[in-house]
Structure 1
């Protein structure tokens, strides 16, 4: 975990825009794969791995398409990010029907499974670096050509040129050692006229790096860049508030008070707490002084953005 955290800080705070390669990149990818292998083993059915967003209008649109979608096992915030990924494309959500959709960084596939229910007829593939996440997705969610999952590297996509209509990437690329390589791979596999829907959280330096890379890539024409930071912060605050589904789930688990305090604090930090202005309670401060938990951790993320590009 320490090596991965150090690698994240290195690529997200670097001012030079230099891609990481060789042993450095391989080490970071290995650490990332191991962490998400463990997460795939420990996470529950239906859990989506992103910070989520809260927009009442989007929630109402989803409810109209999938009535009761938040009634069982979800607060709906992570689903709203997935919905946004397709809804704000030039042809909209319905324009993805009968298209080939690829998610790079799909985790255990729950987000793509959600989208497959919204877009009948689409052929969806999820790719992830974690072998266990992909194995779990294939075992529990795959449905022939409608929804399938493959293991692979975002910087070396195992797909033919011009074979994908829509590529989505949600809260994943900030972990890639070579962001430029991923964007070039996305452009390679997209058909002319195909779209890239990219959603992620950015440090000031990483956003500058991405903009510098995209300015030098004529293959992709960027048509929108929306800052959704306010909506993401709203979701994080609601998810972590007393009485939320997240809190109730933790409360149902058999933990002593000390373990519950540590688990709650760790989960809040992992799912955007710092970005949303989280301040730990005094009990965590005491535990931090004892070396049991970090007081605060993470990167100085400044914005959360949805960016869309068209393959020229």
Structure 2
């Protein structure tokens, strides 16, 4: 199914329903199924249209992290990538009490892996682990399998974050990056994370939050048996730094887009859409005059998205 206007409307309204609800009530039944179907369709389309090296997440910028990554991955960075998306993935493992050279034989699961490029990067940072990516989008999983999978070292499976197809206690580290704000039932996902993690295993959870979703996460995390939350870091400033660098003239993002054959106005619209999708409002983005003019005519949205308040990295250990 393609991302028709009806699908886009279902997805955006579902996101608002999940993230702006003061009560934090879990969505189940037809409402949850509709949101999941729309989400899968959106990411199916992204998997079909996105080129290698496209943006994976809002990213973060921390010069110290960049130097650490370069020490482990020689040649990391431009001209192939701006490195911001990778830094979020690196942070997800770096902050755990496991040395990056001690992952041999461990099972790392990423829930919400998209097309798998982030997990592929982690397989270079922490060699020797068996890494599995799970995603709700069949086409994203198919693309990851076709282009990145490497035997037991890196595999991809189709599945639902709220019904993980893994045995109890079979995972050493579960990574979840910029994904759970789309889940209709956050508690069910966290419960599944607790189930599949072995005792002493870790959940590294990174996501963006509205004020309401922050409170939902706080309440839900307290209710989940088996997970002990050991860290909660606000990384908003570092995320905003990455988004602003992507928006800047001459950035890797703008240079790459500029190489594509398209009308200059279409290029501005494409850049505007990408910036909105990948954290522009969170970082104080203001559209250029041409976009403002088109927005007055109703041709493109001027600003859109949810009032995201913070971007956080939380860690839990399975008791």
| Superposition TM-score, scaled by structure 2 size | 0.96
* Pairing partner for 1:208 from 194, 204, 215: 215
Deviations 1:198-241 (A, max 9, x none): 00000010010011011112310000000000000000000111
Contact 1:167 1:186 in 2 (8 A): yes
The residue number in structure 2 matching 1:174 is 181
Q: Is 1:93–2:128 an aligned residue pair? A: no
Contact 2:191 2:225 in 1 (8 A): no
> How far 1:48 sits from its partner (Å)?
4.4
The residue number in structure 2 matching 1:120 is 127
Deviations 1:45-79 (A, max 9, x none): 13341000000000000001111111342100000
Q: C-alpha distance in 2, partners of 1:229/1:219?
A: 28
Which range moved further: 70-79 or 221-230?
70-79
Contact 2:109 2:133 in 1 (8 A): yes
What does 1:39-54 align with in structure 2 at a 5 Å threshold?
39-54=46-61
Contact 2:187 2:224 in 1 (8 A): no
3-state SS, counterpart of residue 302 of structure 1: strand
Q: Is 1:137–2:144 an aligned residue pair? A: yes
> How far 1:38 sits from its partner (Å)?
0.5
Contact 1:48 1:111 in 2 (8 A): no
Contact 2:119 2:131 in 1 (8 A): yes
Q: Is 1:300–2:307 an aligned residue pair? A: yes
Q: Is 1:271–2:278 an aligned residue pair? A: yes
3-state SS, counterpart of residue 118 of structure 2: helix
Q: Which consecutive aligned stretches of 4+ in structure 1 deviate over 4 angstroms post-superposition?
A: none
Gapped regions of structure 1 (runs ≥ 5): none
Q: C-alpha distance in 2, partners of 1:108/1:33?
A: 12
The residue number in structure 1 matching 2:236 is 229
The residue number in structure 2 matching 1:244 is 251
